[in-house]
Amino acid sequence: MAGISLILMCEEYYMNNIIKALQDKDDKKAYALFKEIGTRSAASDEYYSCFDDFLGLLNAKSSYVGTRGFALCCAQARWDESGKLQKHFQLCLPCCMMINQ
């Protein structure tokens, strides 16, 4: 059982670092990670477990970070069998409106 707890702690640490990196002040680094996650999300559900964390990025002060969060939520849509994107669509809508301006 201790091994499972350690694995869960490592996964949580890894995901927290991804979210921090997506908000990095160095936009080139953050954008490169965003592109990598987007590409990998097209091929597998590896990042679907981060959906709620990506959703949290919508509240960022930076519109760049918020847009990354929105796009990464959308990138998880093909793996979203539980309807998270539809459930949280109202939170995503302001980001859509901002993109269209």
The model's pTM: 0.77
Q: 21-30: which pairs have CB atoms within 8 A and are 24 or more residues apart?
A: 22/57, 22/65, 22/68, 22/69, 22/72, 23/57, 23/60, 23/62, 23/65, 27/64, 30/64, 30/65, 30/68
pLDDT digits (tens, 9 = 90+) for 40-64: 999 999 899 988 999 999 888 888 8
**In the chain, pLDDT over 90 holds for what percent of residues?**
37
Q: In this predicted model, what pLDDT tens digit does every residue of 63-82 receive, in sequence order? A: 889 889 989 998 998 998 88
Domain range summary for the chain, segments of one domain joined by +: 2-99
Find out whether 47 and 86 touch, Cβ atoms under 8 Å: no
